[in-house]
Amino acid sequence: MGISQWFQLFRKKAAAHSPVEPIRSLPVPHAPSIPTAPRASSMNGAWKVDSSRYGGIIPPQDLMPERWHAFYRYLRDHIPDVSAGVWAWVRLCSTAHSLDYIGGTTSERADAQVLLEELERRLLESTFDHRPGFDGLIDQFYQSVFTVGAYSGEVVALESRSGISHFAPIDPSSIRFKRYSTSGRMIPCQLAEDGSLKPLPEVSFFYYGLDADAENPYGRSPLSSLPFVLRLQQQLFEDMGKAAHNAGYPSLHVRYQAPEREPGEGVDAYRERIQGEFDSIDQALRTRSPESNFLTQANVEIAYVGPNGQMLRWRETLETISEQVVSALHLAPFLIGRNYGTTQSWARAQYDLMINNAASVQRAAARLIEWIANLELAFHRFDVRVRCRFAPHHGWNDVDEARARQIHVQTLLTLKAQGLIEDDRITRELDI
């Protein structure tokens, strides 16, 4: 399916989209700080809000996020280079994570660990896949961030308000941010299908936008610069397939040179003899089997048809377009099976850059886990707090990394022996 055909299919699906359940809310006098039912829902059929009607709405970077986000997911699922790029980013960030319990007594930290383990079992509605709640939440976070450039969701409390019931993911395309002109304060809202905006409770709402800034709090999708390049790439693939199909079957070119006219042979007889020989050659070509041989006289020449001149270099053209895909995804070429350099220093620089990029997104995922975990502990009035950390990526050269760490530790111990640093400084330096 081409990109233009995809838009046509999307319009048909959008027209047949059935209305979803209206947003529910508790009566104002009895509404808790954190709702016990989701106040937000996924609105894939929502349309662009009219900024003149709702003053103060910050317009999204994509004029119609509900269409573009669905299109980005289509690219991720159906375009090989894009699929490999998103897959590489998600797996690069998916290192093992652990929770550190800080504060409180030993017994309270043990109870807090049991409490969060129970929370993980009910955190996501899709518990049938038997993934721990935080693991599944992190997978959703990475998939959404590297596809549409944002992730959002809402914490829902138990009916008894004694803890967190579950976490409800929200389609980021339905989120709008409103800034008050007097105070400059920004609040999140959700766009409903009828065009109305529903303010979301900030205390229970989470939103992360990739590469967000003051003018664009929505974030930016890594795939936003790809549609034009991908259109060229898919057209090139289609043309290359047609050309390869045409050139994949060799064609025979038969040249027949008419013999000389024999003495005393009439014109009509000569013409019939030439036509007969031509028809016999044509019949022999049409009926011969692949393993048979072809016997002719000296006036018949058979050769393969081949083009003259210089052909289009498909590989160079395809590599040029693929480099644009790699650049748009902020990837090193070797992560999607391409490598244009041979030196170790080049590969090392690329690897270090990728690790730094992955670590920055991991910090955002850690904040999501810490926010949910600490909120659950606060519900139960625990003095314990949680810090989430991801395991570091493997070094490029384990021997060199170990040697560098050994020198670093020895330097810190020498400084301590000289009375220049304290124990807490060593702990922070070693991150232990």
The alpha carbon of 170 is separated from its chain's Cα centroid by a whole number of angstroms, namely 18
Domain co-membership, 165 together with 23? yes
Q: Would residue 246 count as lying in a domain?
A: no
The verdict on residue 24 lying in a domain is: yes
**Length of the chain (residues):** 432
pLDDT of residue 351: 75
DSSP assignment letter at 214: S
DSSP, collapsed to helix, strand or coil, labels residue 409 as helix
Last residue of a domain, one of 243, 276, 304: 304
On the CB side of 150, how many CA atoms lie within 13 Å of its CA?
28
- On whether the CB atoms of residues 330 and 146 are closer than 8 A, the answer is no
Write the CA distances from 22 to 29, 33, 158, 197, integer angstroms.
21, 21, 21, 12
Number of domains in the chain: 3
Q: Are residues 185 and 53 in the same domain?
A: yes
- Asked if residue 130 and residue 54 are part of one domain, the reply reads yes
Q: Please indicate, yes or no, whether residues 164 and 199 belong to a single structural domain of this protein.
A: yes
- 309 domain residue, yes or no: no
pLDDT tens for residues 76-94?
888 777 888 888 889 889 8
Single pTM value for the model: 0.65
Asked if residue 31 and residue 150 are part of one domain, the reply reads: yes
Low-confidence ranges of the chain (pLDDT < 70): 1-55, 126-131, 228-230, 232-233, 236-237, 240-241, 243-250, 306-347, 395-400, 431-432
Task: Evaluate whether residue 374 is within a structural domain.
Answer: no
**Full domain range(s) for residue 293:** 252-304
| Predicted local confidence at residue 385, as pLDDT | 94
In a domain, 62, yes or no: yes
- Cβ-proximal residues to 42 (8 Å cutoff; 6+ apart), any chain: 20, 169, 170, 171, 174
Residues 220 and 257 in one domain: no
Looking at residue 54, what is its pLDDT? 43
Q: Are residues 283 and 184 in the same domain?
A: no
Which pLDDT belongs to residue 126? Answer: 65
At residue 88, the pLDDT reads: 87
CB 248 within 8 A of CB 240: no
H runs (alpha helix) in 79-132: 80-93, 106-122
- 372 located within any domain: no
pLDDT tens-digit series, residues 205-230: 999 999 888 778 999 888 887 776 66
Would 122 be classed as within a structural domain? yes
Could you write out the DSSP letters of every residue in 363-419? Answer: HHHHHHHHHHHHHHHHHTT-S-EEEEEEPPPPPSSHHHHHHHHHHHHHHHHHHHHTT
